[in-house]
Every structure is written in C-alpha cells, then in structure tokens.
C-alpha cells in the first residue's frame, strides 16, 4: 500500500507555476463533494484540474500568485546561500 493511500491528510502536488500535478484519493474525494460549487463558481470541471493552474479555482488568484511568487523566490534565495 502506497503512502498516499494511508495518509489522513489532503495532499496535492503543485509545480512552481501552481499547476496541479497530483492529488491523493482523500483530496479528490473532498473536491468531488464540492464539485458542483467549483463548476458553478469557476466554470471548471473537477476532471480538468489535473495539469491546470489552481489559480482557476481560487477566489483571489492574484493574491495567491503574489504570495506564491514570494515564497518561491525566498526558497531559491535560501537554497543559493546554503547550496
């Protein structure tokens, strides 16, 4: 049994551009429970989330993008210092 099958958390994997690469079964189940709301609010089908940007389903995408960019920049800076 894989680790993702026994975790009690909602796990998603994003790339540096905030594209959704993976979600564990528990995260998928939770999103399925609100799929109608996602469709209504953002006009995105749950099946179309993998491979696409999570900014499409965030209520304040610009704010998330700013925070994420700062985090990635800080992480890269920290890596260069320790590197």
The domain segmentation of the chain, as residue ranges, is 9-82
Give pLDDT tens digits for 47-80. Answer: 898 999 989 998 899 998 998 888 878 776 666 6
Q: Look at domain 9-82 and name its CATH class.
A: alpha beta
Give pLDDT tens digits for 28-41. Answer: 999 999 999 999 99
pTM: 0.68
10-15 LR contacts (CB < 8 Å, sep 24+):
12/54, 14/54
Residue found under tokens 């099946």: 47
DSSP-assigned letter for residue 34: T
């Amino acid at each position: 049994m894989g680790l993702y099958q026994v975790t009690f958390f909602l796990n998603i994997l994003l790339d540096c551009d905030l594209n959704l690469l993976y979600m564990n079964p528990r995260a998928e189940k939770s999103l399925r429970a609100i799929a109608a709301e996602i469709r209504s609010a953002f006009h995105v089908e749950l099946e179309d989330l993998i491979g696409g940007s999570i900014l499409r389903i965030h209520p304040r995408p610009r704010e998330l993008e700013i925070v994420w960019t700062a985090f990635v920049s800080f992480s890269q800076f920290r890596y260069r210092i320790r590197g």
